[in-house]
Structure 1
Amino acid sequence: MEYRLLGRSGLKVSTITMGTMTFGGVGWAKTVGDLGVKEAKKLVDMCIDAGVNLLDTADVYSQGASEEILGEIIGGPRKNGVLIATKARFPMGPGVNDAGSSRQHLIQACEASLKRMKTDVIDLYQLHEWDGQTPLEETMEALDTLVRQGKVRYIGCSNFSGWHIMKALGVSERDKRERFVSQQIHYTLEARDAENELVPISIDQSLGILIWSPIAGGLLSGKHRRNQATPEGTRQFAGWTEPPIRDENRLWNIVDTLVEIADGRGVSAAQVALAWLIGRKGVTSVIIGGRTKAQFKDNLASADLKLTDEERKRLDDVSLQPLMYPYWHQRNTASDRLSEADLALIGPHLAK
């Protein structure tokens, strides 16, 4: 297992993070899993034994049950340097202030998460989604307060747009508040939209990147194939709708390439998809999830899989998306003065 610095911090995290959305099975989360303490502990132990040092959850997963199960497993004095990341922002009750990124909600949510997880500190506290109604000054002050109180060590965001992140970083710098060390985003071979703004921002601003649903909810696992029925037991069979697929033919071309490379290497398509991400510039860690030991064992093996340059090129080419404006214009007229962050997106298009 490799360990990388999380953004502009001295904290090192494993290139694979364990996701816990399958813990609990309450409400909408039952679609993805309903593991109890006993089954979840086996998977947590398996990941820790493999070198994973970051466990990611959120208060909204099973309405707090995921955090509670995690607390039953690793609550109290933590061993093996295990780090806990959780998130807040979504509704956790019927009240008008039981959601959002206000000072009221974030402080209340943090204290509730600490209690559920039976810990006195959250290593990485992330805003789960953008809140366009709360001033960022209030949000960043609340997060800064939690760090200064010793309840949180680092802060991050998730599912923000580029301008959201830059505005937040600007507020932190101006007001001398704690700044985000990371962003948690959706980024896969099928969904490379993050390369437009989010990946370049991470490179330019030294933000770590944690990737949720790195095999697209199982769509890139090799179980789903062109012109075949959706397999029983999968998220899609249960009605899960993320991520949205806008070009099915492109998806199946990507899957076909993944399977061809995987068969040639004697590994799974999921391992190839994960290894491609782990090797992408700016990426810190991919968050894997599942319901069985077999799924985790397979995904964990991707930490040691190194793709060849030729394999990477095949995957890059089959999944490359056309440049949006203003990037196609920058490719045509500004290629003489592009930064490293610019080239993360535009570079592959310069020879085309």
Structure 2
Amino acid sequence: MRLQLEPIVTAVANSEPSSVLLWLSRSGPRQLLSILATGSGPVTHETLDNVTDSKAVRYLRAILVANAVLPERDEFLARFERWLEPTLQQVEDSDERRDLQSFAVWFLLRRLRQRSARRPLTHGQMVTAQGNVRAAIRLLDWLHGRGTTLSACTQHDIDAWLASGGREKFDARNFLVWNVDRGQAHGVAIPPHRSTRGQARLPEPDQRWRLSRRLLHDTELATIDRVAGCLVLLYGQPCTRIANLTTAQVTDTGERLHLMLGTRPIEIPEPLSTLIRELVVTRKGMAVVGHTDTHPWLFPGGLPGRPISPMHLTGRLGRLGIPTRAGRATALMDLAGQLPSVVLSRLLGLNLNTATLWSQEAGNTRPSYAAQVARMAHRKD
């Protein structure tokens, strides 16, 4: 064995031997380790990037990062960057490819990097950016089919594009706005997609409270599901945000427990505060090979040192009969009807504009109070 592979072997071998043997019995890990064994030099992120992306590659990378063999990096940002170049190379027209690259780099990638500097990207943010690029490529192809180009098209063309069906057509909006702002397109626009905010609420008036009571008091349910479900139903949190909560966002004085969901801590009442305390102590990831408890995540997942997948968390709650989208919408509609949008934004981590829209949807009649609070906070700052 060459010297550069010793840290990898050590990281893997620290796990239960039976688990390692089971992992090695699969073709993906065996092929990956064979590729690394026949290579040269140290194994880096770039080394793994040059191997065909697979579940085995992602799992081994997580093992190496969790065991400090490789440095931390934002994987969803890196995956978008790796995906972008070959995707753009499929565009045959060089001018359009250059325009797409400018949009992808200076609008999408720039925004993703800014978000990544604050907190790791989510899978949804990566998929949304990819959808913007795909929609832009499809729009250009569709315009070619009509015998026109982006610079020559009219609003009639854009309306026909939207009328051709599919929610993804609206994903080209950012690309179109980008080109209009730079004079590459003229007099055309794609309106924001009509919001379904509040339309997917729970059908029964007391369903939210009935589900919440079950989560709070049914001791046969897993603590992870009880806490996550309550955060959806009581505080309107999406699974993408719940999955990325850390223990640093929990402040426990013994008498009171606070959770930081936005920019202001929320005091969590009993019995939910007891459940969160239990989760902090008992949280265990599902990773077997390369498992580590040295991580910040409140909801650790199946990859070593990584949080639970939002899709996996959504599936867990769904199996308990908790519809996360409808549950969150019901919670936000209720909270938005009681709290000013500024307070809603600070406590729940919503963008202020989003919080305002929820308040309007809920028929909150106190916008002037919200504006007053915002002005007072501004003067204090």
Scaled by the length of structure 2, the TM-score of the pair is 0.24
- Max Rg structure: 2
Name the structure where strand makes up a greater proportion of residues.
Answer: 1
Scaled by the length of structure 1, the TM-score of the pair is 0.26
